[in-house]
Amino acid sequence: MAEVLVYVDHVDGAVRKPTLELLTLARRIGEPVAVAVGAGAEATAPALAEHGATRVLTADAPEFADYLVVPKVDALQAAYEAVSPAAVLVPSSAEGKEIAARLAVRIGSGIITDAVDLEADDKGPVATQSAFAASFTTKSRVSKGTPVITVKPNSAAVEAAPAAGAVEALAVTFSAQATGTKVVSRTPRESTGRPELTEAAIVVSGGRGVNGAENFAIIEALADSLGAAVGASRAAVDAGWYPHSNQVGQTGKSVSPQLYIASGISGAIQHRAGMQTSKTIVAINKDAEAPIFDLVDYGVVGDLFDVVPQLTEEVQSRKG
C-alpha cells in the first residue's frame, strides 16, 4: 500500500488535534507515515501510533527552534525523498501552509491549500475546498507531481486506529537558506484557558450588536459554558472591543467548527468567508431580515442581551 506523509504539528511532543484529523484522512489514501521535528519529536510517537501512523520519522536540532520555517521544509523534503509518498498532508496553519508551499516548489508538485475534506480514487487524492467566500464547493486533484495538500482544522473526526508507529531517525541536511531568518524572541500568548480559535469544536462570536467591550463578557460566559473559543466580527474588532487575533472572516481567521454561534452579527460576505464551512450555524439577531439568517441551521430573532444569558443558564443547568 502507498505511504502518505503527514507533517506533525506539536508543542513539545503534545500532538495538536488537526494532525490527528490528518491521520484519519491520510488513511483514506494509504498508510500514514508521520514526520515530527523539533523538541519533543520522539514523544509524539505514542499518540501518532494510536491514530494510525505506521512509522514516525523524527529529527531534532537547534535549527528547528532558532530559525523560521526553512529547517522544517528541509526535514519534510528529506522525508519525502526517503519515503516517495503518494501524497504529503500538512495542517493548514499559517506555518503549515508556508512549509507546504515551499516543499511543493522544491519538488515541482502541485499544491492544494485549505482542503475541508479528502477522498481517494484510483487516480489519487481528491480534495474538497470551499471557494469564493464559501459560495461554491470545489473538488480538485493535483495533476503534476506528488500532491501536497493542506487541510483545515475540524475537517475530519479524530479516530483511534492503532498502528505500529515505529520511531525512525530522519537524517536532515540543512540547506543554505535554513539559517536565513533567525528567531530573536518569543512572546507567549496570554492564556485565556479557551481552545485555540481555529481548532475549537465550538465558536461563539460577537459582532457590532454586542455594543461594547464590556458586553463581550456575555459572549465569553456562553463560550465558557460550552468549552468554546470566542470569535468577533471585524466591526467589533475595529471598535476595539475584542483583539484582532479573534477576528473571524476574510481578513481574520478561518474557522470550521462543529458549531458556530453568531450573536449580533449581520452576516456580511467577508464574515461568512471565515465561518461558512462550520457544520452547524446558529445566529441570534434582533433583525429578522439580517442576511446571516440565510445561512443558518437555527436562527433566533431576538435581543442578544436577553437570549445569550438565557442560553448560558440553560447550558449550565443541563451540565448539572
The residue from 15, 150, 271, 299 that contacts ligand FAD (CB under 6 A) is 271
Strand partners, 238: none
Q: Which is nearer to ligand FAD, 57 or 265 (CB)?
A: 265
Shortest Cβ distance from residue 48 to ligand FAD (Å)?
34
Q: State which residue, 97 or 286, has the beta carbon closest to ligand FAD.
A: 286
Sign of CA dihedral 86, 92, 93, 99: positive
Binding part of the chain for ligand FAD, among 70-78, 131-139, 154-162, 244-252 by CB under 6 A, reads 244-252
Instruction: Please list, in sequence order, all residues whose beta carbon lies within 8 angstroms of the beta carbon of residue 271, skipping any fewer than 6 positions away.
Output: 207, 233, 234, 248, 249, 250, 262, 265
Q: Which helix (H) or strand (E) holds 140?
A: strand 136-140
Strands 136-140 and 124-131: antiparallel
Judged by CB under 6 A, does residue 87 bind ligand FAD?
A: no
User: Residue 39 or residue 301: which is nearer to ligand FAD going by CB?
Assistant: 301
- If the CB atoms of residues 58 and 263 are measured against ligand FAD, the closer one turns out to be 263
Grid cell digits, residue 244? 484582532
Q: In the window 40-79, what residues touch ligand FAD (CB under 6 A)?
A: none
Nearer to ligand FAD, 38 or 153 (CB): 153
Cα 84 to Cα 169: distance, rounded to the nearest angstrom: 17
Q: Which is nearer to ligand FAD, 167 or 262 (CB)?
A: 262
From residue 100, give the alpha-carbon distance in Å to each of 104, 112, 205, 253. Answer: 6, 9, 30, 19
Q: Report the half-sphere exposure of 221 (CA within 13 A, side-chain side).
A: 17
Dist. CA 58–CA 55, nearest whole Å: 10
Are 129 and 91 spatial neighbours (Cβ–Cβ below 8 Å)? Answer: no
Say how far apart CA 7 and CA 214 lie, in whole Å.
41
Of residues 84 and 251, the one with the C-beta less far from ligand FAD: 251
Among 85, 153, 249, 299, binds ligand FAD (CB under 6 A): 249
Instruction: Assess 18 for contact with ligand FAD (CB under 6 A).
Output: no
**Which range binds ligand FAD by CB under 6 A, 34-42, 95-103, 164-172, 281-289?**
281-289
Residue 265 contacts ligand FAD per CB under 6 A: yes
Give the x/- contact pattern for ligand FAD in 284-313, rule: CB under 6 A: xxxx--x------------xxx--------
Query: According to CB under 6 A, which one of 247, 254, 276, 277 is a site residue for ligand FAD?
Result: 247
For residue 61, give the DSSP letter: -
Task: Give me the sheet containing 87-91, strands edge to edge.
Answer: 111-115, 148-151, 87-91, 3-7, 31-37, 55-59, 166-169
Binding segment for ligand FAD (CB under 6 A), chosen from 104-112, 120-128, 166-174, 283-291, is 283-291
Q: For the segment 174-233, give every residue that binds ligand FAD (CB under 6 A).
A: 207-209, 233
Contacts with ligand FAD by CB under 6 A lie at 207-209, 233-236, 247-252, 264-266, 268, 270-271, 274, 284-287, 290, 303-305
